[in-house]
Amino acid sequence: MRKSLLKPPKLSPTQWPNGPLLELPSGELRNYGCGRILTADHFVLFVGLSPQHYLAVNHAPGAGLVGSVMDQAIGFLFAHGAVVVRTDLRAPLMWFAEHNGDFSWTKCLVFFARTFLASDPTDRPWIPPAIRPVCPLETIAFGGLCHWQKVNAMMEGIEAADSELLAELGSSLAAMARRWEWFIARMVILSQRADQYGAGDREMLFACDRLLLSIMTRFGRGYELLPATTMRLL
Cα→Cα distances 25→5, 41, 101, 107, 174, Å: 27, 18, 32, 31, 41
Q: What is the DSSP letter of 8?
A: P
Segments of the chain scoring below 50 in pLDDT: 1-5, 11
Which residue type is seen at 98? Answer: E
163 φ/ψ sector (left φ>0, alpha ψ -120 to 50, else beta)? alpha
Task: Give ∠ CA 109-174-201 in degrees, rounded to 5.
Answer: 110
pLDDT for residue 209: 96
Which stretch of DSSP H or E encloses residue 48? strand 43-50
Rg, Å, the chain Cα set: 19
Q: What is the DSSP letter of 43?
A: E
Q: How many residues does the chain have?
A: 234
Cβ–Cβ under 8 Å, residues 37 and 46: yes
pLDDT for residue 206: 95
Query: The whole model's pTM is what?
Result: 0.79
Q: How far apart are CA 59 and CA 45, in angstroms?
A: 9
pLDDT in tens, 88-128: 888 888 898 887 777 888 888 888 888 888 887 776 655 55
CB burial string 203-228: b at 16+ within 10 A, e below: ebbebbbebbbebbeebbeebebeee
Cβ–Cβ under 8 Å, residues 122 and 179: yes
Q: Is 69 helix (H, G, I), strand (E, B) or coil?
A: helix
Q: How far apart are CA 145 and CA 159, in angstroms?
A: 21
Q: Which of 60, 52, 110 is nearest to 84 (CA)?
A: 52
Domain ranges of the chain: 1-119, 126-233
Q: Is 10 helix (H, G, I), strand (E, B) or coil?
A: coil
Beta strands in 61-175 (DSSP E): 83-87
User: Within 10 A of 74 (CB to CB), how many other CB atoms are there?
Assistant: 17
